[in-house]
Chain A
């Protein structure tokens, strides 16, 4: 038996209750986005492992000392860095003033020896034609080697296919040797080795080898340290952006993910944060 005329509940105050809750959440919500400079720390060595020797020309050291003075230089930080009124960092080399940012970019993108840029495409989900050169779309573990200067080099491609499981390497003197491929698949392309005549002989081999080492001391101020970190990031970002515009005619940030990854691999951000030196 249904009850007749169940009294209706007045829902007029519903809006008020909801408003009250709404205001509470409005007040407690934080909309700020966290942002910052991302870095990857090196893993802690488990035992004393000998660190691989890095050639002096492949390392650019920036030191922020305990008095917050910046020193920089190839291999050893011997040159003073001054900050001018507009906040630009200038490196003083043999009495000449040069902007540190430009020097860093020149160091990273020196390409003295352009034979060693290679990586396995198993990490590479990108398959496309860049600059007339085919790359990507390789079966897993095949070696992909970028083809700057190799396009249309028929004899070299034939030679490579003959030596399927080997990787052609060329040392600094230009001697060619074939080595067993560290990858399981076969080599499809190789870099045409050459010493870049436009490059600075005493600067880095290629962007993959170039390391920017940022050193600091116990008393270094965090503020200055971050400013220098920012400058180093800026150098890499500008190189990537310039390459994106040159090769794709687009801003780096507007490129599809896969192309961004390619450029990131081409110009890996190799910034080493050495441990604090005592003095």
Chain B
């Protein structure tokens, strides 16, 4: 027992200064503020991506446009049905409105510097259960809009 009391001798332990705590926290805060991408679309469909092993990372997120293909979630089903739909930003489109992609891509291209347009990539995030029919229609629209760099988004498989 006395072992534990040794060295304490009734003196108070020196308090650790917490003055630099806000600085540390601010540092972390700035890190996360800088790395956070706030603008994320809310998915209105279920997309479970297929798996692949030979994947490449998508670089330059600001130059990537996303097209989602999948079946609408329940709250959207009375309006859009259950068949696979296309989502651009926050809007859903039926398969027959696939031509909307053309204008959407053109709008996105217009926002970017002319030099960067050729480096823009379109990431196709499609559910593994959709059929190629709709995917091909999307690809045809992208070809028309001259957005030729595409990426089939997949999950990594080891």
Residue of A nearest to B56 (CB): A38
The answer to whether A11 and B22 touch (CB under 8 A), given A35-B57, A219-B133, A226-B154, is yes
Question: Is B40 on the interface with A (CB-CB < 8 A)?
Answer: yes
- B54 close to chain A: CB less than 8 A: yes
Assess the B133–A25 pair: CB atoms within 8 A.
no
Asked whether, in the complex, the Cβ of A25 is within 8 Å of the Cβ of B33, the reply is: yes
Q: Is the CB of B32 within 8 A of A26?
A: yes
Report if A222-B135 is in contact (Cβ < 8 Å); known contacts: A14-B22, A33-B58, A37-B54.
yes
B76 to chain A: closest CB distance in Å? Answer: 20
Does B143 lie within 8 Å of A33, measured CB to CB? no
In A224-242, the 8 Å CB interface with B consists of 225-227, 229-230, 233-234, 237
- The residue of chain B having its C-beta at the shortest distance from the C-beta of A233 within the complex is B54
> Does B104 interact with chain A (Cβ within 8 Å)?
no
Query: B52 near A226 (CB under 8 angstroms)?
Result: yes
Pair A273/B139 contact, Cβ less than 8 Å: yes
Given A25-B32, A29-B36, A35-B154, A226-B146 contact (CB < 8 Å): no
With a cutoff of 8 Å between Cβ atoms, the chain A residues found around residue B153 in the complex are 34-36
Q: How far is the CA of A218 from the CA of B134 in the complex (A)?
A: 8
Residues 1-54 of B at the A interface (beta carbon under 8 Å): 18, 21-22, 25-26, 28-29, 32-33, 35-38, 40, 50, 52-54
CB of A4 closer than 8 Å to a CB of B? no
- The CA-CA distance from A70 to B55 in the complex, in Å, is 22
Which of B25, B33, B58, B123 is packed against the most chain A CB atoms within 10 Å? B25
A246 at the interface (CB under 8 A from B): no
A178 to chain B minimum Cβ distance, whole angstroms, is 36
**Least CB distance, A139 to chain B, in whole angstroms:** 26
Residues of A with C-beta under 8 A to B53: 230, 234
Interface centre among B35, B40, B50, B154 (most CB of A within 10 A): B50
Cβ-defined partner of B152 (8 Å) among A18, A37, A40, A44: A37
- Give bound CA distance, A267 to B143, whole Å: 25
B-contact 0/1 string along A13-55, CB 8 Å cutoff: 0110011011001101111011111111111100000000000
Chain A: minimal CB distance from B103 (Å): 16
Interface residues of chain A: helix, strand, loop or mixed (majority): mixed
Asked if B154 contacts A37 (CB within 8 A), the reply is yes
Give the residues from 77 to 130 in chain B that come closer than 8 angstroms, CB to CB, to chain A.
Answer: 121, 123, 126-130
What residues of chain A lie closer than 8 Å to B28, measured between beta carbons?
22
Q: Are B152 and A226 in contact (CB under 8 A)?
A: yes
Complex CA distance for A112 and B131, rounded to whole angstroms: 38
With a CB–CB cut-off of 8 A, which chain A residues contact B139? 41, 273
B128 and A226 form a contact (CB under 8 A): yes
- Which of A28, A30, A44, A233: most chain B Cβ within 10 A? A44
User: Which chain B residues lie closer than 8 Å to A41 at the CB level?
Assistant: 139, 142-143, 148-150
CB contacts (< 8 Å) of A220 on chain B: these are 131-132
Residues of A within 8 A of B154 (CB): 35-37, 226, 230
Q: Measured between alpha carbons, how far is A36 from B121 in the docked complex, in Å?
A: 12
* B156 in contact with A35 (CB, 8 Å): yes
CA distance A63 to B22 in the complex (A): 61
Nearest B-chain residue to A236, judged by Cβ: B54
Q: Please give, as numbers and ranges, the residues of chain B lying within 8 Å of A22 by CB-CB distance.
A: 25, 28-29, 32
- Are A234 and B57 in contact, CB atoms less than 8 angstroms apart? no
Q: Among B26, B40, B131, which residue has its beta carbon within 8 angstroms of that of A18?
A: B26
A237 near B54 (CB under 8 angstroms)? Answer: yes
CB distance from A270 to the nearest CB of B (A): 15
A223 adjacent to chain B (CB < 8 Å) = yes
Within the complex, what minimum Cβ distance (angstroms) separates A45 from chain B? 9
Contact B36 A36, beta carbon cutoff 8 Å:
no
Q: Are the C-beta atoms of A43 and B55 separated by less than 8 Å?
A: no
Contact in complex: A222, B50 (CB < 8 Å): yes
Residues on B lying within 8 angstroms of A by beta carbon are 18, 21-22, 25-26, 28-29, 32-33, 35-38, 40, 50, 52-58, 61, 64, 121, 123, 126-133, 135-136, 139-140, 142-144, 146, 148-154, 156
